[in-house]
Amino acid sequence: MAETDKPSASTGEFDRISKYFRPLVKDAPGALNLADDAAVFAVPDGHELVVTLDTLVEGVHFIGDEPADLLARKALRVNLSDLAAMGATPLGYFLSLSLPKRIEDAWIELFCKGLTADQGAFDWHLLGGDSTSTPGPISLSITALGTVRKGQALKRSGAQVGDALYVSGGIGDGYLGLLAAKGQLPYGPEADAMLARYRCPEPRTRLGQALVGRAHAVMDVSDGLVGDLAHICAASGVGAVIHAPSVPLSPDAAELVADQPSLYLELLTGGDDYELLITGPGQAIEDAAQASGIRVTRIGEIVQGDRVMVLDADGEELTFAYAGFRHS
Amino acid sequence: MAETDKPSASTGEFDRISKYFRPLVKDAPGALNLADDAAVFAVPDGHELVVTLDTLVEGVHFIGDEPADLLARKALRVNLSDLAAMGATPLGYFLSLSLPKRIEDAWIELFCKGLTADQGAFDWHLLGGDSTSTPGPISLSITALGTVRKGQALKRSGAQVGDALYVSGGIGDGYLGLLAAKGQLPYGPEADAMLARYRCPEPRTRLGQALVGRAHAVMDVSDGLVGDLAHICAASGVGAVIHAPSVPLSPDAAELVADQPSLYLELLTGGDDYELLITGPGQAIEDAAQASGIRVTRIGEIVQGDRVMVLDADGEELTFAYAGFRHS
């Protein structure tokens, strides 16, 4: 772990690393106890490395009033979701944390508590990183490493005409959670549930692993169901049809949409779901769902073409003001 | 490569990734053309992965008026220096780039030109990353990956009593370059040379590789010669002696110190040299230097004890107001 300078409002950088971050690596020998210039570790024989990076900036990706433990967990989880979409098993992560001087040790303590919780939940560890001060907003960047059997990583480019199209869990909670965070949902238990889901999404790690060797194409829904499916279509050279009434909502989201039907189309293009979008043989995908204990729902199919069509209950095509994507 | 939002003053994020960043990965199949959720690649049989991360924040680690190509190269090079200190061969890197809206495409173009130059110079490639906007200063974070033969990574903890102590290249150019950047050096060709070295340090990649199997302990000098040697001593449970008159300066640095002798002690504790500090059998270290074509100089030895002693020409111990470190 590099130590570059000392935020003045709190413990010096050396003490900070020792006190807060070193306990996070205790079971990860490759991290060399954060005492060397770099981490060193092996990738198991017959496996490849899967690496993804996501950066969260205060005022852009989060508001700033979030509890620090939830912020830490969200940062880990959006990366875990990317690993899940590749079918990878989490190995470890690197953390870059830039903090303004106003941040106190109590915040860091809570942040590390969040990291610890999701290290346990997903059986991985901090491997190294960098902690700096900044004159700007809080910024954190996670580089997440996972492993997958050689040549077996799930990709966006494998969709085939005739594939069934599935999505895990429920769509829309993340988008509704963002509205709740902005105070744009009526207060109540449903809004609270959406907010909790937005702040701490559920990466589909076990499902991703179970889809290895079964699915043709997988990605996680971070920019919106329709837009992300368009990415799969572009990468695979195919088109897709979504049957809108089949798209699963959580009970809480369904409740909210019942009160505000205009929300429904927004959910199909809203982001932050972190569910897996899956194409392949229907039976194989349902087998993976059963093996992992995570619900999947068939929402459409892969067809010839180069775009995503969303059909309503009458088979009429729905159009969207903002689809969360551009064809390229 | 994730695309999270669109800085308004310039090309949309999708075009930006496509136009500027995609060409940087063209020879790196593991990057999946930046079109997937993560990069996937193999580590060669019999090798381990070495990973390091460094973050540079405008106003903390750089001033902000640097040419963008040099900033990009420095970001790569401080990470390459960490890889060199482990004896690793560079494999590829992930980039997290957070830019304020004032940044124009011309800046990004120049930044990528710098990345391209040092991809060629060090035979590695962009593997993925994240590009975001920020209401704060420019921030960039590099996660650098390298490989080393299993069990052969150079570490800080291997120093043994009786080891010779060497340093590569010359000490002090980085510190003097920082003074030059702050306008605290007399203008002239020496100051220009120091500034150039500070802005674009020379990672000792080939030397690091040649030291594998030869050196006992290695680290790169980023926080200052004396302070960084103290890290080796703490990790190895030994002491060290530096003979100050043996510490090599570049001709330009020697010229500047001749005019301002008080600078000399500052150079021994100043940072940003990115030279390698090496302990081990003298002959083996000199063999590695010859094999890599990089000069090394013997500056002292490893002794029993738990601290670093710096001796002047008369064998008197020098003391430092700021040693760039704290014993822990």
Say if residue B3's pLDDT is above 70. Answer: no
Same domain, A43 and A178: no
Task: Residue A250: give its domain's CATH number.
Answer: 3.90.650.10
User: Which tens digit of pLDDT belongs to each residue from B62-108?
Assistant: 888 889 999 999 999 999 999 999 999 999 999 999 999 999 999 99
B2–A contact, CB cutoff 8 A: yes
Task: Residue B43: give its domain's CATH number.
Answer: 3.30.1330.10
From the candidates B13, B45, B53, B78, which should be mutated to test the interface with A, based on the most A CB atoms within 10 A? B53
Same domain, A310 and A263: yes
B96–A contact, CB cutoff 8 A: yes
Q: How confident is the model at residue B32 (pLDDT cuts 50, 70, 90)?
A: low
B148–A contact, CB cutoff 8 A: yes
pLDDT value at residue A11: 46
Same domain, A207 and A140: no
A–B: how many Cβ contacts below 8 A?
Answer: 224
Q: Is residue A271 part of a domain?
A: yes
CB B5 within 8 A of CB A60: yes
| Contact between chains at A53 and B220 (C-beta distance less than 8 A) | no
Q: Is residue B209 part of a domain?
A: yes
* CA-only gyration radius of chain B, Å: 21
User: Which tens digit of pLDDT belongs to each residue from B285-306?
Assistant: 999 999 999 999 999 999 999 9
- Spatial neighbors of B109 by CB under 8 A, at least 6 apart, are B20
Say what percent of chain B tops pLDDT 90: 64
Q: What are phi and psi of B300, to 5 degrees?
A: 165, -155
State the ipTM, two decimals: 0.87
| Higher pLDDT among residues B16 and B76, named by residue | B76
Q: Is residue A327 part of a domain?
A: no
Domain end residue (candidates: A149, A172, A206)? A149
The total of structural domains in chain B comes to: 2
Same domain, A144 and A179: no
Q: A126: distance to nearest CA of chain B, Å?
A: 12
A83–B contact, CB cutoff 8 A: yes
Q: Is residue B107 part of a domain?
A: yes
Domain that holds residue B27: 7-149
d(CA B121, CA B134): 31
* Mean pLDDT to the nearest integer, A302-326: 83
pLDDT value at residue A322: 56
A11–B contact, CB cutoff 8 A: no
* Mean pLDDT to the nearest integer, A132-148: 95
Same domain, B60 and B165: no
Q: How confident is the model at residue B322 (pLDDT cuts 50, 70, 90)?
A: low
Q: Is residue A226 part of a domain?
A: yes
| Higher pLDDT among residues A16 and B314, named by residue | B314
Q: Is residue A61 part of a domain?
A: yes
d(CA A179, CA B192): 53
| Contact between chains at A36 and B235 (C-beta distance less than 8 A) | yes
Query: Which chain A residues have a beta carbon less than 8 Å from that of B135?
Result: 57, 59-60, 136-137
Query: Which chain B residues have a beta carbon less than 8 Å from that of A14?
Result: 326, 328
Least trusted range by pLDDT, from A175-184, A233-242, B29-38: B29-38
| Contact between chains at A60 and B220 (C-beta distance less than 8 A) | no
Q: A11: distance to nearest CA of chain B, Å?
A: 13
* Mean pLDDT to the nearest integer, B203-215: 98
Average pLDDT over all residues of chain A: 88
| Contact between chains at B137 and A134 (C-beta distance less than 8 A) | yes
Considering CB atoms only, which of A39, A96, A219 is closest to B96? A96
Q: Is residue B256 part of a domain?
A: yes
Show the CA angle centred on residue B59, arms to residues B53 and B62, nearest 5°.
60
Same domain, A214 and A86: no
B22–A contact, CB cutoff 8 A: no
| Higher pLDDT among residues A26 and B48, named by residue | B48
Same domain, B22 and B51: yes
Helix ranges, B86-145 (H): 105-122
Q: A196: distance to nearest CA of chain B, Å?
A: 21
| Contact between chains at B42 and A82 (C-beta distance less than 8 A) | no
pLDDT value at residue B257: 85
From the candidates A18, A36, A58, A79, which should be mutated to test the interface with B, based on the most B CB atoms within 10 A? A36
Q: A314: distance to nearest CA of chain B, Å?
A: 34
Considering CB atoms only, which of B5, B61, B326 is closest to A60? B5
d(CA B116, CA B158): 36
* CA-only gyration radius of chain A, Å: 21
Say if residue B11's pLDDT is above 50. Answer: no
Average pLDDT over all residues of chain B: 88
pTM of the entire structure?
0.89
Q: What is the DSSP letter of A136?
A: S
B132–A contact, CB cutoff 8 A: yes
| Contact between chains at A2 and B59 (C-beta distance less than 8 A) | no
Taking CA atoms, A63 is separated from A181, A303, B202, in Å, by 8, 40, 40
User: Which tens digit of pLDDT belongs to each residue from B163-188?
Assistant: 999 999 999 998 999 888 888 888 88
Domain end residue (candidates: A149, A184, A207)? A149
Q: Is residue B59 part of a domain?
A: yes
Q: Which of A65, A77, A68 is nearest to A113 (CA)?
A: A68
Considering CB atoms only, which of A2, A143, A220 is closest to B94? A143
pLDDT value at residue B214: 98
Same domain, B171 and B259: yes
Q: A204: distance to nearest CA of chain B, Å?
A: 14
Domain end residue (candidates: A95, A118, A149)? A149
Same domain, A162 and A123: no
d(CA A289, CA A166): 10
pLDDT value at residue B22: 83
Say if residue B134's pLDDT is above 80. Answer: yes
| Contact between chains at B35 and A235 (C-beta distance less than 8 A) | yes
* Mean pLDDT to the nearest integer, A283-293: 98
| Contact between chains at A48 and B37 (C-beta distance less than 8 A) | no
Same domain, B160 and B116: no
User: Which tens digit of pLDDT belongs to each residue from A239-261?
Assistant: 999 999 999 998 888 888 888 87
Say if residue A10's pLDDT is above 80. Answer: no
Q: Which of A6, A71, A2 is nearest to B55 (CA)?
A: A2
Query: Which chain A residues have a beta carbon less than 8 Å from that of B157?
Result: 35-36
* Mean pLDDT to the nearest integer, A212-225: 95
| Contact between chains at B82 and A139 (C-beta distance less than 8 A) | no
Query: Which chain B residues have a beta carbon less than 8 Å from that of A146?
Result: 38
pLDDT value at residue A164: 98
d(CA B309, CA B86): 25
Query: Which chain B residues have a beta carbon less than 8 Å from that of A61?
Result: 4-5, 132
Q: How confident is the model at residue B327 (pLDDT cuts 50, 70, 90)?
A: very low
Query: Which chain B residues have a beta carbon less than 8 Å from that of A86?
Result: 36-38, 40
* Mean pLDDT to the nearest integer, B245-256: 89
pLDDT value at residue B26: 67
Query: In B, residues 177-216, which contact A (CB 8 Å cutoff)?
Result: none
User: Which tens digit of pLDDT belongs to each residue from A30-87?
Assistant: 666 666 778 998 898 899 999 999 999 999 988 888 899 999 999 999 999 999 999 9
Considering CB atoms only, which of B57, B85, B143 is closest to A37? B85
| Higher pLDDT among residues A54 and B271, named by residue | A54
The structure tokens listed for A157 are: 């480019």
Same domain, A81 and A55: yes
Same domain, A125 and A161: no
d(CA A1, CA A33): 9
Say if residue B320's pLDDT is above 90. Answer: no
